[in-house]
Amino acid sequence: MKKRIAKVLGIAGSPRKGGNSDILLDNFLKGAGDAGCETEKIYASHLNIAPCDENNTCHKTGECRIKDEMQAVYKRLIEADCIVVSSPTFFMGVPAQLKCLIDRCQALWARRFVLKRPLREDDKERDGYLLATSGLNKKEAFLGTKATVKAFFYVLGFRYKDEVLAGGIDKMGDINRQKGALDKAYKIGRSIL
Ligand X SMILES: Cc1cc2nc3c(=O)[nH]c(=O)nc-3n(C[C@H](O)[C@H](O)[C@H](O)COP(=O)(O)O)c2cc1C
Binding site for ligand X (CB under 6 A): 14, 16, 19-22, 88-92, 133-136, 141, 169-170, 172
- Shortest spacing between CB 48 and ligand X, in angstroms: 20
Angle of CA points 162, 166, 170, to nearest 5°: 150
Nearer to ligand X, 33 or 135 (CB): 135
Length of the chain: 193
Cβ proximity to ligand X, 37 vs 169, nearer residue: 169
Q: Which is nearer to ligand X, 103 or 170 (CB)?
A: 170
Shortest CB 184 distance to ligand X, Å? 16
Calpha distance 65→67 (Å, rounded): 6
CB-wise, 31 or 167, nearer to ligand X? 167
CA angle 138-9-48, nearest 5°?
A: 90
Inter-residue contact 10 to 84 (CB < 8 Å)? yes
- Name the minimum Å distance from CB 84 to ligand X: 14
Q: Output the smallest distance, CB 55 to ligand X, in A.
A: 29
Give 62 or 93: the residue with its C-beta nearer to ligand X: 93
Closest to 98 measured CA to CA, from 132, 61, 64: 132
Distance CA(144)–CA(115), nearest Å, equals 29
- Cα 79 to Cα 93: distance, rounded to the nearest angstrom: 27
Across the strands, what pairs with 39? 8
Least distance from C-beta 62 to ligand X, angstroms? 33
Residue nearest to ligand X (CB): 19
